[in-house]
Amino acid sequence: STPSTARTTSVSTATLTVQTSGCGFIDLTAEAARFIADVHAREGALTLFIRHTSASLTIQENADPSVLVDLAAVLARLAPDDE
């Protein structure tokens, strides 16, 4: 496609702290949508940075709830809790 150009008129930042009880998946969609609405963004890019060394960000459509079960099973085999 033809490249497009965007001009940055503002950059908004926020810190989201999430308390967890251990391993598992946490859906941050609502928090991301709220941030976008709060800053009145119409277009642009959302960058998420996770500070915890053992956390990761997974982006998926969540069309099928069994995907999280499959991901958890694969991760448990790759990195067992007792290792």
pLDDT interval class at 38 (50, 70, 90): very high
What is the percent of the chain where pLDDT is above 90? 19
Burial of 50 (0-12, 13-18, 19+ CB in 10 A): exposed
For residue 17, tell me if it sits in a domain.
no
pTM above 0.85, yes or no: no
Residue 77 confidence (pLDDT) above 90: yes
- HEC profile of 6-46: CCCCCCCCCCCCCCCCCCCCCCCHHHHHHHHHHCCCCCCCC
Q: What is the pLDDT of residue 3?
A: 81
For residue 21, tell me if it sits in a domain.
no
Q: What is the pLDDT of residue 36?
A: 92
Which residues constitute the domain of residue 48? 29-78
Total number of domains constituting the chain: 1
**In contact, 72 and 25? CB cutoff 8 Å:** yes
Q: What is the pLDDT of residues 6-26, one digit of tens each?
A: 777 788 999 988 888 888 888
